Amino acid sequence: MLKKNPIMFSLHFLALFLLFLDHANPQPHDQEQAILLRLKQHWQNPSSLDRWTPSSSSHCTWPGVACTNNSITQLLLDNKNIPGTIPPFISDLKNLEVLNFSNNSIIGKFPEVVYNFSKLEILDLSQNYFVGTIPDGIDSLSRLSYLNLCANNFTGNIPAAIGRIPELRTLYLHNNLFNGTFPAEIGKLSKLEELYMAHNGFLPSKLPSSFTQLKKLRVLWMSEANLIGEIPQMIGEMVALEHLDLSMNELTGSIPNGLFMLKNLKVLFLYKNLLSGQIPQVVEALNSIVIDLSQNNLTGTIPVDFGKLDKLSGLSLFLNQLSGEIPGSIGRLPALKEFRLFSNNLSGPIPPDLGRYSSLEGFQVASNRLTGNLPEYLCHGGSLTGVVAFDNKLGGELPKSLENCNSLLTVRISNNAFFGNIPVGLWTALNLQQLMISDNLFTGELPNEVSTSLSLLEISNNKFSGSISIEGNSWRNLVVFKASNNQFTGTIPLELTALPNLTVLLLDKNQLTGALPSDIISWKSLTTLNLSQNQLSGQIPEEIATLPHLLELDLSENQFSGQIPPQLGLLRPTYLNLSSNHLVGKIPAEYENAAYSSSFLNNPGICASRPLQYLKVCFSRPQKSSKTSIPLLALILSALITAFLLALLFAFIIIRVHWKRNHRSDSEWKFINFHRLNFTESNILSGLTESNLIGSGGSGKVYRVAANGSSVVAVKRIWNNRPLEKKLEKEFLAEVEILSTIRHLNIVKLLCCVVNDNSKLLVYEYLMNHSLDQWLHTARRSNSASASVNHVVLDWPKRLQIAVGAAQGLCYLHHDCSPPIVHRDVKSSNILLDSEFNAKIADFGLAKMLIKQEELATVSAVAGSFGYIAPGKRSLFRSYPCYLLPCPPFPVPNIEVSYFITRIAEYAQTVRVNEKTDVYSFGVVLLELTTGKAANYGDEHTGLAKWALRHMQEGKTIVDALDEEISEPCYVDEMSNVFLLGVFCTSEVPSARPHMKEVLQILHGRNHPLVYGAKNNGSEYDSTPLLKNSKRERQSESDSTLASDN
């Protein structure tokens, strides 16, 4: 039949031929599915791709896959826990327009294979572990409009080719390790709208003037990018600019006038630069929402035109040299929430309408010369969280709007001239945590009840009167109570002794009477007690000896009588003063040394069992005397004197022979003081006794010495059994001279140096709360029941305060000293704590003195302590904790997602010592603070850092690693953040560890963006904004930013 019908035959043949072709060359649809399955296999079949199976429906419906005309055009694989590399065969997906691999665990160099995607419009490789440079040829992606490479480990230069992608609108390169240059060619991207290059270590560079040609640019974020020089005057021509962040650089010169003429400008961050001159007085940027020019050298007055910015919600001008009055029109701004002008030279009154027309949240004007009253309407909007106005010349009564201001967390108005009564509602404000009103003229009585949130109450040097009456449980959370130099009368109430969290109690210089209650046994956390200059009487209760952490005790100038309880000798406080009472009897044997010789003055009935300065010797009179015993006594005495003189002569001969044998004599002590001191070398040397020994380690012994009877210092005697060569001796003294110039609130002060040929003594200020190591680990090391009973746990707010303080100290050593100082032995035992648990770094620079000159550049197993020493390994590691530094517009990942992958490591024989070794050690300290575990936790070959990393690699939650004793639900997020920061600091690759500046910014919360990754606009007076959303908001770093340690 087919032969009879050739047309039908031809049709059948054609059908068979097409069917053969179909089987011989599969459809592109099947090819793409095969490529996806190969990708899944290459990435070891992650659970996030479980639905990628051949048996399922079309691959165009698979998660993360989108198709157009049955061909893959979008591969959206963000947040899929994908490990490994991007394979070359992915280039077979010819039609890709969108490729998103953000927030995975992808390693390796930049995948040049993506250059084959000629249709690609969106490329996102952010938040991975890419390393190396961005290769040339990126301009082959000519259709690319969105490029996001943020939060990786890219290094080198940004290629000029990136400025030849004509369609590029969004470029995110921030938070990498770029250490070269960025090209001026970026200024040719005429369509560019967003440019992020912040937080990179570029070579010092000026902001290219070509950038001002970006007429469509809305966002320029170059914070901490090593910018120098002046801001180009032509920046005023960037008419589309809405957000400009050039903060934390070294920009100089004045602020261009044109900057405040930009009509679309909403956010301006120029804080922490070296800008000078006046703020431009003509302001037409009427859409401004946030202006932060703080921490510069700006002078002149605050522009009156700021009063025209009706959308302004945040104004920060603190830590400049501004003068004149605050324009009254600023007080009438309807959107103003944050007002921070502290540490300037401002004078005159505060605008009286401030808070009247807006819901003010933060008000900080401390350390100026302001006069008049506080504005009446400060809390009119009911949102005020803080009033910080200390160190001014303000006066009058407190405004009535504070009466019912339950939003208040902090009131700090010390050192002014306020008077009158404190509004009743302020005492009991629902959320009030800190009330610091010392050094004013306030009157009235203390209320029976205060806010249950109150933890810090400072009312010293006022005119408060009446009795201290405490009722109910409202005072139970009080930690610090300072009420010195008032007019309080009556007795110390029993309720005051029942406060379990109290650490500091100052009631000196009042008119208190009666006995000291024996119920003080409840003060288990107390470190400082000062009741001096009152009229207290009775015996000193022996229960004081049961206070395990009492370090300062002052009961002087009272009317205490009777004997000193022998149990008191168990305390060994750093400061003890029982002078000017009516005490009698023998002092406890533990105090019979020079350190306490001035502790008992003006007590005629007091004596000691042996001769001591200022104390008479206790003699027991014999009942009978015999005339015949006198000659015998004289004979014995003469014999003893003769024997003593013979022994003295013999010793002198031996010493003389020894001296001649060694052909030299001991050199005299040399006393080198770096401060005005009230003691001499003899005071120091006399205190170097075993009874004063408080510590011994690899670098020497530490003594607690009462230098002049009242001042207590710490003396470090460096191990040294032989004289140094002249060269090394000179280098040692040069090093000490450098260390003596350090002035910072978070660094232990070096007071003087006492040296001779054989010994080196370094004399430091003494810190009464000892070391962080003792607070974290001493009780855990002991198995005794008593240790556990007396153990006081550092709560999380204190630990975070300590972390911030220590970070500030190290940051100063690394970034603000010239030359920079590397500590080399950062550990919890070298972080000391004062009476209010402010951290101070100790032993900085000491490790360098203890090694030979030829070992200074490269040190093998010398500097550091086990568990804190940075390993000599390299690994692939993310440069930034990306949950703190999100890369918009994609969502921020959960902080408990595993960030870690298998390491590719090669061992080095030595560890290069630089500031990154300190960062590693500090990371271990952060892990100690969050987990409560010691640095050597783990097996004998690892430590806490390796344990924490392994904990993450095994997929366990961070919560499981936290210290159970303090991990309250309200603190878990913050503790998790700091735990992760500790892990990042302990990266095995030094270049992947952040600098201490970055660590401090993260602890301060400044890298947690409000707008486009900009700085947190939280209170500069909070010790850390990480606590801003917690049950407690802690005290600020104001002491470190407003005061210098002299």
Q: Over 80: is that where the pLDDT of 467 sits?
A: yes
- 119: exposed, middle or buried (Cβ count in 10 Å: 0-12, 13-18, 19+): middle
**Domain residue spans of the chain:** 1-203, 445-524+528-621, 670-765, 772-844+862-871+911-1032
**Polymer length in residues for the chain:** 1046
CATH of 1-203, one of 3.30.70.3000, 3.30.1660.40, 3.80.10.10, 3.40.50.10470: 3.80.10.10
Q: Which two tokens stand for residue 418?
A: 């306020």
Alpha-carbon distance of 415 to 568, in angstroms, equals 37
Predicted pLDDT of residue 724? 55
Predicted pLDDT of residue 657? 52
Work out the pLDDT band at 10, boundaries 50, 70, 90: low
Work out the pLDDT band at 717, boundaries 50, 70, 90: confident
Q: Which two tokens stand for residue 245?
A: 């962040």
Q: Over 60: is that where the pLDDT of 864 sits?
A: no
Q: Over 90: is that where the pLDDT of 636 sits?
A: no
Alpha-carbon distance of 556 to 599, in angstroms, equals 9
Written as one string, the DSSP assignment of 196-250 is E--S--PPSEEPPGGGGG-TT--EEE-TTS-EEEEPPGGGGG-TT--EEE--SSE
Region 719-731: mean pLDDT is 59
Predicted pLDDT of residue 232? 95
CA separation (Å) from 727 to 662, 732, 733, 844? 22, 9, 10, 22
Q: How many helices (H) and strands (E) does the chain have?
A: 15, 56
Would you call 288 helix, strand, or coil by DSSP? coil
Amino acid sitting at position 309: L
Nearest to 559 by CA among 542, 534, 585, 587: 534
Work out the pLDDT band at 937, boundaries 50, 70, 90: confident
Region 507-522: mean pLDDT is 91
How far, in whole angstroms, is CA 101 from its chain's centroid?
33
Predicted pLDDT of residue 677? 76
Alpha-carbon distance of 856 to 939, in angstroms, equals 30
* CA Rg value for the chain: 35
Q: Which two tokens stand for residue 348?
A: 């005159």
Predicted pLDDT of residue 75? 97
* CATH class of the region 772-844+862-871+911-1032: mainly alpha
Work out the pLDDT band at 317, boundaries 50, 70, 90: very high
Work out the pLDDT band at 957, boundaries 50, 70, 90: confident
Q: Indicate the Cα dihedral angle 577, 581, 587, 588, nearest 10°.
A: -60
Please give the DSSP secondary-structure letter assigned to residue 350.
P
Is 536 or 575 the better-scoring residue by pLDDT? 536
Work out the pLDDT band at 161, boundaries 50, 70, 90: very high
Query: What DSSP element (H or E) covers 24?
Result: helix 6-24
Alpha-carbon distance of 415 to 357, in angstroms, equals 29
Q: Over 80: is that where the pLDDT of 642 sits?
A: no
Alpha-carbon distance of 996 to 822, in angstroms, equals 11
What's the pLDDT tens digit per position in 678-691? 777 778 888 888 88
Predicted pLDDT of residue 1043? 35
Amino acid sitting at position 806: A
Q: Which two tokens stand for residue 644?
A: 């003593």
852 is in an annotated binding site: no
Predicted pLDDT of residue 376? 95
Nearest to 130 by CA among 110, 101, 155: 110
Would you call 924 helix, strand, or coil by DSSP? helix
Q: Over 80: is that where the pLDDT of 739 sits?
A: no
The strand pairing partners of 419, in sequence order, are 441
> Lowest-confidence range among 5-9, 421-425, 666-670?
5-9
Work out whether the CA dihedral 662, 668, 673, 678 comes out positive or negative. Answer: positive
The strand pairing partners of 314, in sequence order, are 290, 338
Query: Crossing angle of helices 915-931/996-1004, nearest 10°?
Result: 30
Predicted pLDDT of residue 117? 94
Region 827-855: mean pLDDT is 72
Predicted pLDDT of residue 871? 67
Region 976-993: mean pLDDT is 85
Region 162-178: mean pLDDT is 96
Written as one string, the DSSP assignment of 520-552 is GGG-TT--EEE--SSEEEEPPPGGGGG-TT--E
Work out the pLDDT band at 1021, boundaries 50, 70, 90: very low
Q: Indicate the Cα dihedral angle 138, 141, 143, 149, nearest 10°.
A: -50
Would you call 106 helix, strand, or coil by DSSP? strand
* CATH class of the region 670-765: alpha beta
Share of the chain above pLDDT 70, in %: 79
Predicted pLDDT of residue 858? 33
What's the pLDDT tens digit per position in 759-796? 788 888 888 888 899 898 875 554 433 333 345 778 99
- The answer for residues whose C-beta is within 8 angstroms of residue 647's C-beta and 6 or more apart is none
Residue 825 catalytic?
A: yes
Q: Which two tokens stand for residue 746?
A: 């978070």
Instruction: Tell me if 1-203 shares its fold with 445-524+528-621.
Output: yes
**Mean of pLDDT over the chain:** 81
Amino acid sitting at position 1034: R
At residue 1034's C-alpha, the angle toward residues 1028 and 1039, to 5°, is 120
Nearest to 908 by CA among 861, 853, 942, 852: 861
Region 866-873: mean pLDDT is 62
Work out the pLDDT band at 397, boundaries 50, 70, 90: very high
Long-range contacts of 557-561 (CB under 8 A, 24+ apart): 557/532, 557/533, 557/581, 558/531, 558/532, 558/533, 558/534, 559/535, 560/516, 560/536, 561/537
Report whether the peptide linkage leading into residue 352 is cis, meaning its omega lies within 30 degrees of zero: no
Would you call 721 helix, strand, or coil by DSSP? coil
Work out the pLDDT band at 96, boundaries 50, 70, 90: very high
Would you call 703 helix, strand, or coil by DSSP? strand
> Lowest-confidence range among 411-415, 448-452, 625-629, 956-960?
625-629
Report whether the peptide linkage leading into residue 493 is cis, meaning its omega lies within 30 degrees of zero: no
Alpha-carbon distance of 345 to 324, in angstroms, equals 7
Alpha-carbon distance of 433 to 209, in angstroms, equals 49
Is 613 or 454 the better-scoring residue by pLDDT? 454
Work out the pLDDT band at 459, boundaries 50, 70, 90: very high
Region 820-826: mean pLDDT is 84
Q: Over 70: is that where the pLDDT of 834 sits?
A: yes
Predicted pLDDT of residue 814? 86
Other residues' Cβ atoms within 10 Å of the Cβ of residue 934? 19
Catalytic residue among 245, 353, 825, 1022: 825
The strand pairing partners of 130, in sequence order, are 108
Work out the pLDDT band at 723, boundaries 50, 70, 90: low
Alpha helices in 376-467 (DSSP H): 424-427
CATH of 445-524+528-621, one of 3.30.565.10, 3.80.10.10, 3.30.70.1350, 3.40.50.800: 3.80.10.10
What's the pLDDT tens digit per position in 227-250? 999 999 999 999 999 999 999 999
Residue written as tokens 């500069």?
Answer: 1020
